[in-house]
Amino acid sequence: MAFAYSDMLTTIKDRQWALADIDWDAPGAELITPQQRGALAAFMADLVWIEHVGARGFAALTLRAPDGPLKEIYRHFHAEEQKHANAELALMRRWGMLREDSMPVPNKNIQLVIQWLDRYGDELSLPVLGTVIPSLECALDGALVKFLLDEVRDPLCHEVFRHINSDESRHLAVGFQVLEQLGAGPARRIAIETAGFALRPTLLIGALLYTPLLSRMSTNIMAMGLDEEKLWNAVRRYEKAGDRSPDIKRLPLFHLVRMHGRATINRLQPIQGVNDALNKAIDHFPVRVLGRTPSWSKELTYEPVAK
Ligand SMILES: [Fe+2]
Ligand SMILES: [Fe+2]
């Protein structure tokens, strides 16, 4: 049956939830162990900002999508990713990991990606965003959330992520559908778009920031105890979408992103060597020179605002 964006939009509207629906003072916060606290706080800080990167991606897609239900869907997804970031901030606050008005600081890789997106996000085309975002959602969002649910016993955390995961399943369903449609276009158009993508220096910089980020996050969560197999399964969801759809297989960029994910998670050379070198450079990069955090990050709040 054909995928109807208008039906999906209705489902998205029906399934809206708000931070105010959750009792943030319910018991369970004490289940965070002192041994977990430090690593979990750093992990949550990264997760909050990765949601925000996702939100920024959907904001760019809102500009690129044709008028109609898909554009409206992206608008909702933008707000949902912000809501995820806010819910994660509220969890951090519940666990005593945030001082009153302070914002968590993400790792340097994420800071650089945020700055890059702030500058170039709106220049990205629908084929590029539409191919990269589902991969990011599978690899980062998917794997990170699984890790959290395995490690954290606070029942409220599980309740929050039930909402978040249900949103994410719709993000992916739409993401794969768009990917399929992109692949169903005329071969000539796909070739032109791919060449246009390959020739843009700003995209090369983006790729040089994205690849060490994925590598660092996967190393981090494996170091914290996530089973490699689970991480791999999360990334495999992206590959499987291609296995199911011959149209998706027609997209050269899909193959590039797929092979990149596979090489990164399995630490294959030469990608691993490139990632290690880039991460070493990023560790020495003085992020101060980038100036302040972009203004859109100010929309973050742990307050239980209804969205
Ligand atoms: Fe999310
Ligand atoms: Fe998402």
173 alpha carbon – ligand 2 mean position (Å): 10
pLDDT of residue 210: 81
**Distance between CA atoms of residues 141 and 52, nearest Å:** 11
pLDDT of residue 298: 60
Three-class secondary structure of residue 69 per DSSP: helix
* Beta-carbon count within 10 A of 103 CB: 17
228 alpha carbon – ligand 1 mean position (Å): 21
81 alpha carbon – ligand 2 mean position (Å): 6
pLDDT of residue 193: 75
Distances (CA, A) of 298 to 86, 103, 117: 11, 10, 15
How many CA atoms does the CB half-sphere of 214 hold within 13 Å?
A: 32
136 alpha carbon – ligand 1 mean position (Å): 10
Residues with CB under 5 A from ligand 2 (ion): 54, 137, 168, 171
Secondary structure letter of residue 98 according to DSSP: S
pTM of the predicted structure, to 2 decimals: 0.87
pLDDT of residue 307: 42
132 alpha carbon – ligand 2 mean position (Å): 12
164 alpha carbon – ligand 1 mean position (Å): 6
| Tens digits of pLDDT across the chain (307 residues) | 467 999 999 999 999 999 999 999 999 999 999 888 888 888 898 889 889 889 999 999 999 899 999 999 999 999 999 999 999 999 999 999 987 777 888 888 888 888 888 888 888 888 888 988 998 888 877 777 877 888 899 999 999 999 999 999 999 999 999 999 988 888 888 777 777 766 677 777 778 788 888 888 878 777 777 777 877 888 888 999 888 999 999 888 888 888 888 888 788 888 888 888 888 888 877 766 666 666 555 665 656 544 4
Q: Quick one: which of 278, 258, 280 has its CA closest to 211? A: 278
pLDDT of residue 92: 94
Q: Quick one: which of 123, 117, 238 has its CA closest to 180? A: 238
**Distance between CA atoms of residues 222 and 238, nearest Å:** 20
171 alpha carbon – ligand 2 mean position (Å): 5
Ligand having the closest approach to the CA of 172: 2
pLDDT of residue 294: 62
Ligand having the closest approach to the CA of 133: 2
pLDDT of residue 143: 75
167 alpha carbon – ligand 2 mean position (Å): 7
pLDDT of residue 15: 96
Residue 5 buriedness (CB in 10 A; 0-12 / 13-18 / 19+): middle
Q: Quick one: which of 138, 110, 150 has its CA closest to 264? A: 138
188 alpha carbon – ligand 1 mean position (Å): 34
